[in-house]
Amino acid sequence: MTIRDTFGKAKAEGRSVLVGCMPAGFPTVDDSIRSMVAMAEAGCDVIEVELPYSDPVMDGPVIQKASDIALANGVRTRDTLRIIEAVAGTGATVVLMTYWNPIERYGVDAFARDLAAAGATGMITPDLIPDEAQEWIAASDRHAIDRTFLVSPSSTAERIAMTVANCRGFVYATALMGVTGARTSVSSQAPELVARVRAADPEMPVGVGLGVGTGAQAAEVAAFADGVIVGSALIRCVLDAPDLASGHQRLRALSAELAEGVRSVKPS
Amino acid sequence: MSAPVLPDLAGHFGRYGGRFVPEALVRALDELDAAYRSAKDDPVFQERFTGLLRDYAGTPSLLYRAERLSAAIGAEVLLKREDLNHTGAHKVRNVLGQALLAKRMGKPRVIAETGAGQHGVASATAAALLDLECVVYMGETDTERQALNVARMRMLGATVVPVTNGSRTLKDALNEALRDWVSSVDTTHYLLGTAAGPHPFPEIVRDFVGGIGTEAREQCLTQLGRLPDAVAACVGGGSNAIGIFHAFVGDERVRLYGFEAGGDGVETGRHAASITGGSAGVLHGARTYVLQDEDGQTVESHSISAGLDYPGVGPEHAWLHDTGRATYEPVNDAEAMAAFQLLCRTEGIIPAIESAHALAGAARIAPRLAEELGRTPTIVINLSGRGDKDVHTAGAYFGILDEREVLVPGEQE
């Protein structure tokens, strides 16, 4: 299913989409496939595969650490594509989250082509703003990959309008000024930011990320957003577990809790 | 020659530069850009800046005719004595300018990244002078190697945060500073230490350190009655080099040479030569030359000089390289250390190891230029910093410390 269809289907069901993030190759290629499949089976509507990068300036300590482990274990860009293929092959909706340099290095058009062939339907670019994205916009159009750029509480109305106009699929609203990582409370800036995106384009689905870690928080965000994006809390299930089996168990349990959270409320 | 005005309004030098940052930082960068444009046209700001440079930092720095060094390398050598500035390097120019900008924007806190600690010390100095809170991010490996500079920063009232992720060096300190900034932009100015990073930093830093070149150019005209044949500088991030190059870019007959840190030799892979040993990519907010593997992951840099030990370079250098206006060559550790010793022995000046790369490069190009010109060439070398901070490294390198000192933990590889 494409990312657009996934949002459309959830909307028809009167609920938000749950997006679960996991770095490719963490801790190994096969383990990360197992993690992602487990997340999808337990209720994540979209699997956000993060391509591990040496200098992830938008990410907090959990994703940094998981990415470092994946890179130390030798994960390559082509492994990430292989992981996407395996996960998409189970029927899950897959999007890629990636910093820009690995894509530029691979070749922008070639990457869009191979990403589409692997079965991903969208790509999130945390350090590529539309202002610098001419090449990506052309390549993603050519290969029918949905584009997700970020908006932030500090974005001006003009920038929100410009960013949303360049997105396809959904727009990623960073709920607070900061890096990724679970927080004890959901940012009060998030609902306002979602409202500002809707003012720019009432039709564009809005996913909210940064800070969600529990079913209750997922429900809270689902009340005002079209998508709830969870990364660090899910990754920590594996990172902090004594062994992979118990890590995957926790991952399933948290995914199910979050999935229940997004289903417990009707988006306004 | 009518040089194009660069960067363009979006911060591009040809295909380089720009902004590859999270959206959360765009407003802060726009604010900084606007504040800088208004400061640039504000005579009160400019007077305050030049007043501090003159009365506090001790500029214009001297342009010194180094006769014994000249004889040794076969060129007429003029040293731009940035090592005599307050805090011992060109960096004071940048930090004073940016700290004044922070004040102007009403931001009470500055953050900075540092490798060897020189930019951290300079930032802490400017913050103390202008009553700003200062937090410096420094890779844990570097805090151990440069304990004295950590003490200096703390003495000046700054908080030093050791960074324990990634390779625990300058690039990771920069990542951490960017992460801090994403969370604190309302109250905080990121006092970036070199002419790199997202727009408008490369332009702002270039302009704040640009006095090096305008002074040197005037001093050449006054002292020699003509321009030099060549200008040489070391290039890590590239601020001292762009600072001295910029005023000469329009003087087509003045050759510009940037000397990168060749470490163990570019062919060994253990180096910090982003232009001569790297490839175009995106790092820390800009498109430029970077050290990267075939997947675009940043590769760790290596240099005996902590100040040049960085896997990227300012985008304007990438452009000057591609257009051929400036020539970049690597200088390896051994060549730099030989030049370090040469300057000590011929002129009684202990240079920063960074600057020793420029000295070594100048010595290399001198015979080439002499042959091309058919006379002794005149070369201005940017002596960007003094070497007090490097005495321990150099002492160990030359084996002139007693054994107990050589074994100071963390200093040895």
Residues of A in contact with B284 (CB under 8 A): 55, 57
Handedness of CA A60, A61, A62, A65 (dihedral sign): positive
% of chain B surpassing 70 pLDDT: 96
Query: DSSP string spanning A131-183?
Result: GG-HHHHHHHHHTT-EEE-EE-TT--HHHHHHHHHH-SS-EEEE-SSS-S---
Q: Check pLDDT > 70 for residue A39.
A: yes
Question: Which pLDDT band holds residue B413 (cuts at 50, 70, 90)?
Answer: very low
CB B290 within 8 A of CB B305: no
**Would you call A71 an interface residue with chain B, using a CB distance cutoff of 8 Å?**
yes
Can you give the pLDDT at residue B412?
42
% of chain B surpassing 90 pLDDT: 87
**Strand duo B279-283 + A146-148: pairing:** unpaired
CB B102 within 8 A of CB B133: no
CB B286 within 8 A of CB B315: yes
Measured in angstroms, the CA of A148 and the nearest CA of chain B are apart by 12
- For the segment A68-72, the average pLDDT, to the nearest whole number, is 96
**B10-19+27-41+90-198: which CATH topology?**
Rossmann fold (3.40.50)
What is the per-residue pLDDT across B14-52, written as a single tens digit (0 to 9) for each?
999 999 999 999 999 999 999 999 999 999 999 999 999
Can you give the pLDDT at residue A93?
97
Interchain pair A127, B21: CB under 8 A: yes
Q: Check pLDDT > 70 for residue B403.
A: no
By the 10 Å C-beta count (0-12 exposed, 13-18 middle, 19+ buried), A33 is classed as buried
Q: How far is CA B207 from CA B212, B246, B252, B285, in A?
A: 10, 9, 20, 19
What is the per-residue pLDDT across B265-289, written as a single tens digit (0 to 9) for each?
999 999 999 999 999 999 999 999 9
Strand partners, B378: B76
CA distance B342 to B348: 9
Q: Quick one: which of A128, A241, A175, A260 has its CA closest to B21?
A: A128
More confident residue, A268 or A96: A96
What is the per-residue pLDDT across A100-132, written as a single tens digit (0 to 9) for each?
999 999 999 999 999 999 999 999 999 999 999
Interchain pair A129, B10: CB under 8 A: no
Question: Which pLDDT band holds residue A182 (cuts at 50, 70, 90)?
Answer: low
Interchain pair B296, A153: CB under 8 A: no
Say which residues have a Cβ less than 8 Å from residue B51's Cβ, sequence separation at least 6.
none
**Would you call B15 an interface residue with chain A, using a CB distance cutoff of 8 Å?**
no
Q: List, as ranges, residues 177-196 from B with C-beta within 8 Å of A.
A: 178-179, 182-186
Nearest CB to A102 within list B23, B186, B295: B295
Mutation site, B9, B19, B20, B23, interface A, largest A CB count within 10 A: B23
ipTM of this complex: 0.95
Interchain pair B297, A53: CB under 8 A: yes
Measured in angstroms, the CA of A76 and the nearest CA of chain B are apart by 7
- For the segment B229-258, the average pLDDT, to the nearest whole number, is 98
Mutation site, B9, B297, B301, interface A, largest A CB count within 10 A: B297
**Would you call B290 an interface residue with chain A, using a CB distance cutoff of 8 Å?**
yes
Active-site residue (options: B82, B123, B384, B389): B384
Average pLDDT, chain B: 94
Name which of A184-188, A254-258, B313-317, B393-397 the model is least confident about.
A184-188
Q: Check pLDDT > 70 for residue B3.
A: no
What is the per-residue pLDDT across B132-184, written as a single tens digit (0 to 9) for each?
999 999 999 888 878 889 999 999 999 999 999 877 888 889 989 988 998 88
Q: Check pLDDT > 60 for residue B2.
A: no
**Would you call A74 an interface residue with chain B, using a CB distance cutoff of 8 Å?**
no
List the domain boundaries for chain B. Answer: 10-19+27-41+90-198, 61-86+199-396
What is B61-86+199-396's CATH number?
3.40.50.1100
CB B256 within 8 A of CB B320: yes
- Extended beta strands in B131-285, E state: 133-139, 159-163, 188-190, 230-235, 255-263, 279-283
Active-site residue (options: B91, B107, B171, B389): B91
For chains A and B, what is the number of CB pairs under 8 angstroms?
114
Radius of gyration of chain A (CA): 17
* Domains identified in chain A and CATH numbers: 1-149+208-262 (3.20.20.70)
Question: Which pLDDT band holds residue B410 (cuts at 50, 70, 90)?
Answer: very low
Answer yes or no: same fold for B10-19+27-41+90-198 and B61-86+199-396: yes
Could you give the angle at the alpha carbon of B234 between the alpha carbons of B231 and B240, nearest 5°? Answer: 80
Nearest CB to B19 within list A64, A126, A129: A129
**Would you call B166 an interface residue with chain A, using a CB distance cutoff of 8 Å?**
yes
Q: Check pLDDT > 60 for residue B407.
A: no
Can you give the pLDDT at residue A266?
60
Residues of B in contact with A64 (CB under 8 A): 165-166
Mutation site, A55, A78, A156, interface B, largest B CB count within 10 A: A55
CA distance B258 to B365: 11
Interchain pair B18, A103: CB under 8 A: no
Measured in angstroms, the CA of B176 and the nearest CA of chain A are apart by 7
Instruction: Determine how many CB atoms are found less than 10 A away from the CB of residue B3.
Output: 9
Supply B124's token pair: 């802490």
Supply B14's token pair: 């040809």
CA distance B74 to B379: 10
Active site (annotated) includes residue B144 = no
Nearest CB to A105 within list B179, B285, B296: B296
Name which of A246-250, B95-99, B368-372, B400-404 the model is least confident about.
B400-404
Active site (annotated) includes residue B389 = no
Can you give the pLDDT at residue B306?
87
CB A159 within 8 A of CB A173: no
- For the segment A51-64, the average pLDDT, to the nearest whole number, is 92
Active-site residue (options: B61, B80, B107, B113): B113
**Strand duo B279-283 + B286-290: pairing:** antiparallel
Strand partners, B227: none
Supply B206's token pair: 């270039």
- For the segment B55-71, the average pLDDT, to the nearest whole number, is 98
What is the per-residue pLDDT across B286-312, written as a single tens digit (0 to 9) for each?
999 999 999 999 999 999 998 899 999
- For the segment A78-90, the average pLDDT, to the nearest whole number, is 98
What is the per-residue pLDDT across B215-227, written as a single tens digit (0 to 9) for each?
999 999 999 999 9
By the 10 Å C-beta count (0-12 exposed, 13-18 middle, 19+ buried), B340 is classed as buried
First-to-last CA distance in chain A? 24
CB B240 within 8 A of CB B382: yes
Measure CA A16 to chain center: 14
